């Protein structure tokens, strides 16, 4: 399909199948945000709450992506830039809250972390399976894939953190994983922002 490696034209989301998949993934992510945020508060887990924010960010990202499919290159790149900066702010928030928790540390509930982490992983693997064929595309489409990938990686990390908390009886594994997830948010944000700016320059060059 257009947008895969080796093609000049990038897939811009104009596909009925892609839109159906996005609607399904929006529902999955919105539901898991509610479940995981509640569980994160109950378990006093910073990693769970960070992962819940990733779910929320994904649901919003997918909704915005649906809204601008077929729009002008300027609007699509502007939307992708906004999503990139929102990921940047989310990463900074997780870093800040994780640093705060270092000085007010408590031991999270490993059992809740493990159960919810497994449930979230299953939800994200379903999302990844739905979107993997569309992982290459313009900045708007790519931002959707990066968010889905982040979730799957984050859920594996949360389960690792749960094992670490259980094995060490300290909150440090939870905080370390939250920090790693924040770095993942920041990395994805920079990728989206840079690709959006490049696509905007290319679009303007074609006009002139």
* Nearest-angstrom CA–CA distance, 196 and 121: 29
Contact between 4 and 131 (Cβ < 8 Å):
no
Domain boundaries, the chain: 16-207
What pLDDT was estimated at residue 7? 38
Contact between 12 and 140 (Cβ < 8 Å):
yes
* Nearest-angstrom CA–CA distance, 59 and 22: 9
Secondary structure string (H, E, C) spanning 5-39: CCCCCCCCCCCHHHHHHHHHHHHHHHHHHHHHHHH
The alpha carbon of residue 65 and the mean position of all alpha carbons in its chain are separated, in whole angstroms, by 13
Structure tokens at 133: 């064929």
Closest CA to 149 of 130, 133, 128: 128
What pLDDT was estimated at residue 107? 59
What pLDDT was estimated at residue 23? 92
| Residues in the chain with pLDDT values less than 50 | 1-8
What pLDDT was estimated at residue 102? 54
In degrees, to the nearest 5, what angle opens at C-alpha 87 toward C-alphas 71 and 120? Answer: 100
Residue with tokens 């898991």: 32
**Residue 188 to residues 93, 162, 164, 193, Cα–Cα distance (Å):** 15, 24, 26, 9
What pLDDT was estimated at residue 2? 30
CA-based end-to-end distance of the chain:
28
């Amino acid at each position: 399909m257009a947008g895969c490696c080796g093609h000049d034209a990038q897939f811009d989301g104009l596909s009925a199948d892609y839109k159906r998949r996005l609607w399904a993934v929006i529902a999955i992510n919105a539901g898991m945000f509610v479940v995981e945020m509640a569980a994160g508060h109950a378990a006093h887990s910073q990693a769970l709450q960070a992962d819940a924010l990733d779910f929320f960010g994904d649901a919003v990202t997918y909704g915005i992506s649906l809204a601008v499919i077929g729009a002008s290159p300027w609007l699509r790149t502007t939307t992708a830039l906004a999503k990139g900066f929102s990921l940047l702010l989310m990463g900074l928030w997780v870093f800040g809250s994780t640093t705060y928790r270092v000085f007010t540390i408590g031991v999270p509930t490993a059992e809740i972390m493990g159960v919810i982490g497994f449930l979230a992983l299953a939800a994200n693997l379903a999302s990844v399976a739905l979107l993997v064929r569309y992982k290459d595309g313009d900045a708007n489409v790519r931002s959707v894939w990066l968010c889905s990938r982040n979730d799957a990686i984050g859920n594996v990390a949360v389960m690792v953190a749960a094992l670490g908390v259980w094995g060490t009886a300290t909150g440090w594994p939870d905080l370390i994983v939250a920090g790693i997830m924040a770095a993942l948010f920041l990395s994805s944000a920079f990728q989206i922002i840079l690709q959006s700016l490049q696509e905007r320059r290319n679009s303007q060059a074609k006009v002139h």
